[in-house]
Amino acid sequence: MKDIDTRHLSWDDWDELRRPAPETTDFDKVVAAAMSRRGFMTGVLAFGSAATALNLMGSTSAQAQSASRFAFQPIDIQTDFTIHVPEGYDWGVLVSWGDPLFSDAAPWDPTNGGDAATADRVFGENTDGMELFEVDGKQVIAVNHEYVNEDINLPAAAGESTSIVDSAEDAMKLMNLQGVTVMEVAETDTGWGVVVDSPFNRRITNNTPMTLTGPAAGHALLQTTADPAGTTVLGTLNNCGAGKTLWGTYLTCEENFNGYFGATDAATTMPDGFDRYGIGAESRYAYEQFNPRFDITKEPNEANRFGYIVEIDPADPDSTPIKRTALGRFKHENAAMTLTTDNRVVVYLGDDERGEFLYRYVSNGTYTEGGDTSALLDDGTLYVAKFEADGSGQWLALTPETTGMDDLAMVCIHTRQAASAVGATTMDRPEWVAVSTTLPEAYCCLTNNSKRAEDAVNAGGDAMLAEDGTPNPRAGNEYGQIVRWRPTNTDHGADTFAWDLYVMAGNPDVHDDAYAGSANVTSGNMFNSPDGMVVDSNGMIWIQTDGDDSNEGEFAGMGNNQMLVGDPETGEIARFLTGPNGSEVTGLTWSTDKKTAFVGIQHPGGDFPNASPVPRSSVVWVRRQDGAVIG
């Protein structure tokens, strides 16, 4: 790995280098080994107790017969370095990495990758999940900054010879460009902008003090030199997807936290459990060289304090963020909240790594509007999903009894191991989870899993078989799929559900088997690697992609990463937006009047936005020219 320049790598690719899995068989062979497209459809027909209008075969005919619920004309693929939206819509930039949130921050300067001294006073790097809140009549967006790109943020032009972290100042700059931004936004005649110096503006970074609560708080494995009580931690790491609570707070989700820790002594023995999480002696940003709390040799427990869901109150800039350990420790993608029929809180959660799992948290207490919500995310039960080939599924409780672990704290610290112990289903990288706003069902993007094969295992040794009729049916799955489940008796608190695949992405121009995708994938709406996902107020599913945008070979005809809209009732999927080449489209929220959609553009290529000297991750706004609502 040392011989490879990692400064351009995505986190997925970096993790892949860190954890090389056995090579899969050659592509032709795995294609032949997968079930036929026809066979898969037959399996889907088993959804629920009978074939219904929801099955994918039915989708095509329903689509032809029913009036479309799409309010836009779908757009073609693109391969350029800008954004495209349907006719009748406009877009513009809300904010880009480096834009000041406060007037005391240095203005954006492309020659130095942004001012190091005020990196925690500007909009951070690599925008990801976000949510908009109405606070005192103002519109406030909380948005994640997932990671940094050393070659852009520490440019050689600023006197850096290497664009690598080789000083404490470099490390601090990168720490301050990550985390979360909370910012007030306002609409003008020409678009939308940040309200600089708003009292709501705030940066939360890799160093912001936060509180640990829930079963793992105070556990011996969470105690460090600086925090012998194990209840106070500095910072949040690799903030990926997001969520919103029913009581108006923001949930930010710590994903690839493993890569932030390293060992200054290469002979350091890794503590139990580190291997399952991919924590090793080599880090990505060399924080451990300049800050001992990231050094596994000196502080072996610090890494146990990351990998959680963090709750932030966007209405109170002085509030302390809270890490909710009851929601488990893994590579959290996002968090989707809903209620059981008896008003207990449900949070669906995905663990984005090959062969990891889909989770559900259910609180013990019930939610009442205006009531005390402080313990709802501390006191409850975590479950993991097991999918059966007959279209049924179960939520398996993770408790000391079911897992054989000593106590609930260990379940919340070594959650992956707990889920393996109960026999959960290994998934094709669970990314965003979303709960329908109109139907008793929920969805999870399973982005891809190039390593799924008959002889493959996840990091815990659990088999990653490619089995016909399962939610992860394809070996060498480069395209991804979206699984849908309907809880028994329409109660998200039920421990059983029925499932099907809403869509299986694929390329019908290149393949005529399972890799062509499901029937609702056509030459006109092809995409790969569904990742971000939000359901709007009409129940339509907005799907964002983070895949191969080469537009060649297996991916020919798919173009740049994109945002599509899916109708869960007909199966129809239509392309709404294309991002700049090189970018991932991730993060979506709406203005309070639903007339503007805000969309995240992460790690763009070229000169996005607006002929910038270096590409800048940005949040853009999209409006209809006639002022009608979107979503």
Q: What single-letter DSSP state applies at residue 490?
A: G
CB of 626 to ligand FEO, least distance (A): 35
User: From the list 160, 288, 302, 500, which residue makes contact with Ca ion (rule: CB under 5 A)?
Assistant: 160
Q: Which of the choices Ca ion, ligand FEO, none does residue 170 contact, using the CB cut-off of 5 to 8 A by kind? A: Ca ion
- What is the spatial distance between Cα 48 and Cα 514, in angstroms, rounded to a whole number? 22
| CB nearer to ligand FEO: pick between 181 and 301 | 181
What's the CA gap between 59 and 47, in Å, rounded? 13
CB atoms within 10 A of CB 69: 14
Shortest spacing between CB 426 and ligand FEO, in angstroms: 16
Query: Three-state SS for 477?
Result: strand
Cα–Cα dist 333/17, whole Å: 20
Contact 357, 336 (CB under 8 A): no
Residues 46-105 that bind Ca ion (CB under 5 A): none
Residue 288's binding partner among Ca ion, ligand FEO, none (Cβ under 5 to 8 angstroms by kind) is none
x/- mask, ligand FEO, residues 200-239, rule CB under 6 A, reads: ----------------------------------------
Q: Which is nearer to ligand FEO, 91 or 359 (CB)?
A: 359
Name which of residues 103 to 162 contact ligand FEO (CB under 6 A). 146
Distances (CA, A) of 527 to 74, 86, 197, 278: 13, 17, 40, 29
* Region of 163-171, 219-227, 482-490, 598-606 interacting with Ca ion (CB under 5 A): 163-171
What are the Cα distances from residue 470, in Å, to 167, 282, 427, 432, 530?
Answer: 49, 36, 10, 19, 18
Contacts of 395 (CB under 8 A, 6+ apart): 360, 383, 384, 385, 386, 495, 496, 497
Among ligand FEO, Ca ion, none, partner that 462 touches (CB below 5 to 8 angstroms by kind): none
567 binds Ca ion (CB under 5 A): no
> Considering only residues 248-267, where is the footprint of ligand FEO by CB under 6 A?
255
- Within 324-353, the residues that bind ligand FEO by CB under 6 A are 333, 352
Q: Considering only 277-285, 397-405, 474-482, 543-551, which stretch makes contact with Ca ion by CB under 5 A?
A: 543-551
- Is 288 an interacting residue with respect to ligand FEO (CB under 6 A)? no
Distance CA 376, CA 274 (A): 29
Min separation Cβ 602 and ligand FEO, Å? 9
Provide, rounded to whole angstroms, the least separation between the CB of residue 431 and Ca ion: 5
- Compute the Cα dihedral for 524, 530, 531, 534 and give only its sign: positive
Contacts to Ca ion from residues 421-440, by CB under 5 A: 431
Closest to ligand FEO by CB, 332 or 484 = 332
**Separation between Cα atoms, residue 527 and residue 507, nearest integer Å:** 8
If one asks whether residue 313 binds ligand FEO (CB under 6 A), the answer comes out as no
Helix ranges, 296-439 (H): 400-403, 408-413, 415-421
> Which residues, 6 or more positions from 374, have their beta carbon under 8 angstroms from its beta carbon?
none
| Pairwise CA distance, residues 6 & 327, whole Å | 32
> Residue 166, interface with Ca ion (CB under 5 A)?
yes
In the complex with ligand FEO, the residue whose CB is nearer, 352 or 500, is 352
Main-chain phi, psi angles of 410, to 5 degrees: -65, -35
If the CB atoms of residues 200 and 260 are measured against ligand FEO, the closer one turns out to be: 260
Residues making contact with Ca ion (CB under 5 A): 160, 166, 170, 431, 531, 546
Residues making contact with ligand FEO (CB under 6 A): 146, 240, 255, 333, 352, 431
